[in-house]
Structure 1
Amino acid sequence: MHTFSLNHVALSVKDVNESIEFYQKILQLKEIENTASDSKTRWLSFGDGKQLHLIPRPNSEIKINKAVHFALATTDLNLFIESLKMHHIDYSDWLGTPNKDYIRKDGINQVYFQDPNGYWIEINDDF
């Protein structure tokens, strides 16, 4: 049997600088060195060796689907929601109800919002 751990999430983005600024401001991720190549792909750290790779694709169509998202857990979802409001970031529940959080059947509370390229991000309290 194989054992796995999450290493990184990679996203194609129209404007890598705009995406870097968004993820640094909203998720407070720190930029780290791209040690794989001399490309314009930029890396951010989630911590614990987990990374977000932002790959510039200014001339490519980016297709968005809410079912394709990544999720992060936080110890204080309400504080994070206040941060979204402060930054004028719209959020919703899974069904798309604006400015509403959702408590799943298993008791986990969650919200969804989008980055500048339209990618969906889930933040939940399953910490």
Structure 2
Amino acid sequence: MNIYGFDHIVLCVRDVNATLEFYQHVLGMTAREERPGKWSLHFGSSKISLQDALTAPRLAEKTVPGSGNFCLVTDTPVEDVAERLRAHDVTIVEGPAEKLGAVGKLMSVYFRDPDENLVEVSNRLI
């Protein structure tokens, strides 16, 4: 078996519309309704599927809003990301700071989405 990457992650959210608004306007992702009432956010070749905490049946039984913690990689300088976050009144939890990622060093900024998931946006340092 050769596993080579992620296709998508799933976030359990309290308010799908607030989550769509945040990720579209703050991070520039594209929202898609995959089927009636089932939404996802697309970027590059990946997506974040949204699971409504109040109404959606759960295959993953113990998921709860705010339990997500993930890293997104961008070619936009992290300082510019931090400026964009501040412009949208998003509180920076940490960074920009150097971290270690899957393939090497990262320059990262951390913040929380509307459900308090910890989001890291990073540049790969070569």
TM-score tier by shorter-chain length is: 0.7 to 0.9
For residue 52 of structure 2, the aligned residue among 36, 52, 56 is: 56
Cα distance change of structure 1 residues 125 and 61 upon mapping to structure 2, 3 Å threshold? closer
Q: Any unmatched runs of 5+ in structure 1?
A: 94-99
User: What value does the CA root-mean-square deviation take over the aligned residues?
Assistant: 2.4
Cα 1:85–1:9 change in 2 (3 A) is same
Structure 2 residues not aligned, in runs of 5+? 56-61
Q: In the alignment, what sits opposite 1:90? A: 91
Structure with greater strand share of residues: 2
List per-residue Cα deviations over 1:59-85 (Å, max 9, x = no partner). Answer: 7983645xx511111221111110011
How much identity, in percent, do the aligned residues show?
A: 25
Residues 1-127 of structure 1 mapped to structure 2, 5 A cutoff: 1-34=1-34, 37-38=35-36, 40-48=37-45, 50-58=46-54, 62=64, 64=66, 68-75=68-75, 76-93=77-94, 100-104=95-99, 107-126=105-124
Distance 1:10 1:84 in 2: 23
